[in-house]
Chain A
Amino acid sequence: MFYRRAGIRHTRYQDERQIWPLPFDRRLALLIFLLAIFAPLLIDRLYLVSYLLPWVIWSTAALGLNFLMGGAGQIHLGYGAVIAIGAYASVHMVRAGLPFELAMIGGGLLSAAVGMIFGATALRVKGLYLAMATLAMQYIVDFVIIQFPAISGGTQATLQVPRVSFLGVEVTGDLAPYYVALLICLLVTLFMLNLRRSSFGRALAAVREKDYAAAVIGVNTFRYKLLAFWVSSFIGGVVGSVLAVCYYRAISPDQFHLDLSIQLVAMVIVGGLGSVLGSFFGAALILFAPILLNQFFGFAASELGMTISTDLRSHVPLMLYGAMIVGFLLWEPLGLAKIYANLRNYFLVWPFRHARQ
């Protein structure tokens, strides 16, 4: 009824292999794209700068990590450090007078280089051991940033981001940062959507499923594992520079601690490993659930006369937040994206029972 599959016949391979073979999905994607473009007209400034903007940035970061974890099957507990390298490198470059566009790519390249060095451990170890190696990266990068005042910016350990322009538009105010972040997010999303259709993506999937088997069928695992870390870290570095310039505007080491890495891993897992849509869902849940729950309880305490102490008021949302994550994963271990896919699947031939997908 909604998807109107009746009468859709793919007569060419290209039609079947489109990103969205059904017109309904195409229209939905277009609608969401248009909503994102016109968001500044549709929603209050507050929601634009403190919800939509971080959502777009964190989703891009989650996509970069999802590329590595879902696409190539390599765990990474130091993605916050990757983002930190990109942020610090690009801010230093911008301060040195480089244009932002180049600094962004420069930050990405430096992140990619460092990320690949640590990713090289993936050639030898897997799973938990790789988790430890990437965790080490997190701590080493944190340590280096804090110990070198030349990097962190002196005793105050804060680097101000100077005013920059992106493709001729000054990145100030509320709108420009949002559109810059959206553009980067769009590029990364398109890359991720097309990944599965490319030989690169299929090689990564082979490595993810079993690296020996991939080697047997002729996939160079050495090359693809390193490439996976390279690409993912490059995305992380670019996100770092977007994060610094468009959102934080002043960076300090504590913004990129282990918390950020864990937050991103949680986004990827709750959203759904390997799913593009899941990265967006995961980022939304992890970023906004604490805020919204807190506001709900604040509202309940002040307006509805619910008498609870401040201590409890600030801790209950955290408990609920934890329960929500566990709950969603119990409901659907494959993540929020799978919940959406199940719903979609149900409505695909609704009101009838079964769809062949």
Chain B
Amino acid sequence: MKRREFLTATAAAAVLSQMPIRIAAAQDKVIRFSMPQDFTKVYTFVTAEYSQGQRDYLTLVNLQGGINGHQIVADVSDHGNDLPRAIEAYERAKSEGAVLIDPLSTPVARALVPRALEDKINLITAFSGRSDAADGTAFPYVLPLSPNYWTQAALLIDFFRQKDGDLNGKKICYVHIDTPFGKEPLPILQKLAEQQGFELVTFPYTPPGNDQSAIWPQVRRARPDWVMFWGAGVGQTTALTEAIRNGLDMSRLSSSVWISESDMEVVGAEQCTGVLKVEPCVSGREPELIQEILKEVVEPDKGAGPEDKVGTAYYNYGVMLAAIMVEGVRKAFEKDPDGPISGEWLNAGLRSISDFTAEGLIPATTITPEDHQGGGQGRIAHWDGAKFVPDTDFFSANQDVVWEEVRKYSEEFKKTGK
């Protein structure tokens, strides 16, 4: 190869390597959401259902003409819970002009916090990430938009109190995966135990939790009044199996938002009857929004996944989050119709959402610059053998204890962060 040819080829390669980004950035009337999520490693089917819900809802919005004439483009990719890959996806999203990123992964969300705060890109950490991000004053660009784990634990404890009248002298067992995620609710539970006089017994199991056979006989012997099990993925179904094997009362067994129809089918839908969970939104196909998606997206075969997954718990979480994001876009246009569309612009919208119910799918949610959790509401539902049936209305409980903890850590972050 002659030197000139070589130089020309190098120059061409250098120019070409820059091309895809420039083209993507050139399209206007588009709002970019970046959704690198873990489809392959830890969250697997959780992500598949969640992402399906998100994409179906966004398709619905786009079919109805978008927001203010803007189409919403969702860049879905797989980060496999691997940080270099997630950071690559984040930086790519940033260079493509994405205004929001939703990684749905606790390790990834935690690692992206410093970048998101610096770059002013809205980092959605629904049901993942730092619980103290509920404090919007410390984390302006980190938005959980959903009840955090401290709130979920607090909701369950309050539900137990509603059922038993008084928790004084009762015994509550907390079975959890021995990771930061599993240990997170402990300070809240300890404080509530002190306040309400119940005895808290904790049982950590080693990650990933596919063998918990040593733990559950101890739980049985402790004769608990209520059991909470806190894990993810395979740990949840194993916990259920072991609870059944040890003859625990299923109607006094409860978990966070991370238990779904699929888990029940794995364990045996019949045997799990009675298991309690926290629901951040309505499940099933009844909500108006899900009906609309069925009619306008799924029936004309524009759905993002198999039809039978529509209306599952995680699918509805996806719809819930996408609906809140889009409501944020709507609010942002109300505040500043001419943009320019940026992370800051969307942030103002997201943080001014008030009493949004997504046509009855979620409790009336208000996001403020101080409260990124949206009020911390949820409801308790039980499995009736075929679906989750709500036991309560959406309610909020023990938020004083939760916020005390949130502030404790967010203050520390303010001091040492950045």
Contacts and interface: CB of A to CB of B under 8 A. Distances in A.
B178 A146 contact: yes
- Interface SS of chain B: helix
B39 interface: yes
Interface string B402-418: 00010001001100111
Interface in A127-170: 146, 152, 154-158, 160-163
A314 B91 CA distance: 20
B302 to A, nearest CB: 13
Interface string B68-98: 0000000011101011110110111011000
B247 interface: no
B114 A310 contact: no
Nearest to A259: B82
Interface string A51-93: 1001000100000000000000000000000000000000000
B40 interface: yes
A295 B54 CA distance: 21
B114 A250 contact: yes
Interface in B83-132: 83-85, 87-88, 90-92, 94-95, 106-107, 110-111, 113-115, 130-132
A248 B87 CA distance: 9
Contact of B130 (A51, A156, A317): A156
Given A46-B95, A95-B416, A291-B88, A255 B183 contact: no
Interface stretch (A37-45, A183-191, A343-351): A37-45
B186 interface: yes
Interface residues of A, number: 47
Interface in A273-317: 287, 290-291, 294-295, 298-299, 309-311, 313-315, 317
B416 A160 contact: yes
A252 interface: yes
A32 to B, nearest CB: 14
Contacts of B418: 160, 162-163
Contacts of A158: 110, 113, 130
Interface stretch (B13-21, B194-202, B284-292, B379-387): B13-21
B92 to A, nearest CB: 6
B180 A155 contact: yes
A47 interface: yes
A155 B187 contact: yes
Given A46-B95, A310-B305, A252 B180 contact: yes
A148 to B, nearest CB: 12
Contact of B131 (A42, A50, A156, A248): A156
Nearest to A292: B88
A254 interface: yes
Contacts of B186: 155
B168 interface: no
Contacts of B107: 252, 254-255
A157 to B, nearest CB: 3
A49 interface: yes
Contact of A42 (B14, B21, B52, B78): B14
A252 B132 contact: no
B48 interface: yes
The contact size tier of chain B is 35 or more
Interface in A162-203: 162-163
A310 B115 contact: no
B347 interface: no
Contacts of B178: 146
B36 to A, nearest CB: 9
A318 interface: yes
Contacts of B392: none
B110 A315 contact: no
B417 A160 contact: yes
Contact of A156 (B21, B77, B132): B132
A249 interface: yes
Contacts of A54: 84, 87-88
A310 B180 contact: no
A253 interface: yes
A290 B85 contact: yes
Interface in A235-264: 247-250, 252-255, 259
A190 B115 CA distance: 32
A317 B40 CA distance: 10
Given A49-B91, A158-B130, A252-B107, A309 B305 contact: yes
Given A50-B87, A146-B179, A287-B84, A315 B40 contact: yes
In the complex, the 3 A-B pairs of residues with the closest C-beta atoms, listed nearest first: A157-B180, A314-B78, A314-B39
Interface of A: 42-47, 49-51, 54, 58, 95, 146, 152, 154-158, 160-163, 247-250, 252-255, 259, 287, 290-291, 294-295, 298-299, 309-311, 313-315, 317-318
Interface of B: 14, 17-18, 20-21, 39-40, 48, 51-52, 76-78, 80, 82-85, 87-88, 90-92, 94-95, 106-107, 110-111, 113-115, 130-132, 178-180, 183-184, 186-187, 304-305, 405, 409, 412-413, 416-418
Given A50-B92, A156-B409, A160-B113, 11 more contacts: A43-B17, A44-B18, A45-B95, A46-B94, A47-B17, A155-B409, A156-B132, A249-B111, A295-B77, A311-B39, A314-B80
9 contacts: A50-B92, A155-B180, A155-B405, A156-B110, A156-B184, A160-B413, A248-B83, A253-B179, A311-B48
